[in-house]
Amino acid sequence: MKSSSLVRETLNGLTSILEINKNFIYILDGNGEVGKYTCKFNRGVTEQEIEDFKTSTGLVIPGEYIEFLKITNGCDLFNHELYGGENTFYPIDQVDYLYNTVYKINGLLQIAYISGDWIVIDCKKYSSGDEKYMHVVNSAASLEDDLRCLGCNFETWFNRYIATNGKNYWSWK
């Protein structure tokens, strides 16, 4: 299993910002307004939970994503203090449920909901050695037919997502 320091470093950087600002992040929006945002992290998963997840899905899971889960078993990021947000990384039991009950499609793991988009890991691509296994699909579209490759792995996607303060940069033109 590949162990990625970028996932850990990105999460450490984010939590450092939160600590400095008393659990808030101040972000400039597109209208020149500064908003106050929060992040909520869950306890990390255990080795046994990871093994149970792998057994349940029968998939080879990217090491970077496993590292993320060990640090935080899902989280809510960049939620506006007053208006909330739509930036949810699912806990492992929800990812497992979605895969085994709702969307058991060709090794696709739906891991997050970000501002109207589902973030998806293609475990078949990953297990074949393809490092471009991250995908996005609009939540109103078909998970199987409307996937768009993001051209990167989990750690790169996650780092870019955090660096852009929770924006869906993949839709920028």
| Nearest alpha-carbon partner for 120 in 142, 129, 51, 128 | 142
Residues 37-90: pLDDT tens digits? 999 999 999 999 999 999 999 999 999 999 999 999 999 999 998 888 889 999
Helices first, then strands: H and E counts in the chain: 6, 8
Angle at the Cα of 107 from the Cα atoms of 106 and 110, rounded to 5 degrees: 110
Q: What is the pLDDT of residues 109-147, one digit of tens each?
A: 999 999 999 999 999 999 999 999 999 999 887 777 789
Strand ranges for the chain from DSSP E: 25-28, 34-41, 75-80, 87-89, 108-114, 117-122, 134-138, 148-149
User: What token pair was written down for 113?
Assistant: 């909901």
Domains of the chain: 5-166 (3.40.1580.10)
Residue 125 backbone phi and psi in degrees, to 5: -60, -45
pLDDT bin (cut points 50, 70, 90) of residue 2 is: very low
